[in-house]
Structure 1
Amino acid sequence: MATNKRVFTLRLEEENFEKIKMIADKNKRSIAMQIEYLIEQHIDEFERKNGIIQIEK
């Protein structure tokens, strides 16, 4: 299955990793999907306050 998602390494403090893991488990998500969800939420909040981010292609 093809995907347009980029792969990269993310380093987290152990405590933050464990907390995200607990949140992901509670939400029945993988850790990767939980992190993606949190990033999307932050982007949405940022854009509501600052306007849409224009991506140059």
Structure 2
Amino acid sequence: MSSNTSKFTLRIDQHILEKFRYIADNNFRTVNKELEMIIKAHIAAYETKNGAIKVDLNTK
């Protein structure tokens, strides 16, 4: 795991997780990578509409 990778706990209904796992499997991805891809696409769409989000990683 790279130093830029953070762990995050997600609480989600089992039924939703199983459906999401099915989608990830059909896209030949792990659930984690599928979720990461969706998050990146959502951020890109948000920034296209609203401008770049500036984040200072040194303050965390």
| TM-score normalised over the length of structure 2 | 0.82
- RMSD, aligned α-carbons: 1.2
Shift of 1:24: 0.4
Aligned to 1:31: 31
Which structure 2 residue ranges, 5 or more long, are not aligned?
A: none
Shift of 1:39: 0.6
Q: State which drifts further: 9-18 or 43-52.
A: 9-18
Aligned to 1:52: 52
Shift of 1:20: 1.1
SS at structure 2 position matched to 1:53: coil
Corresponding residue pairs, total:
56
Which structure 1 residue ranges, 5 or more long, are not aligned?
A: none
The residue type equivalent to 2:45 in the other structure is E
Shift of 1:41: 0.8
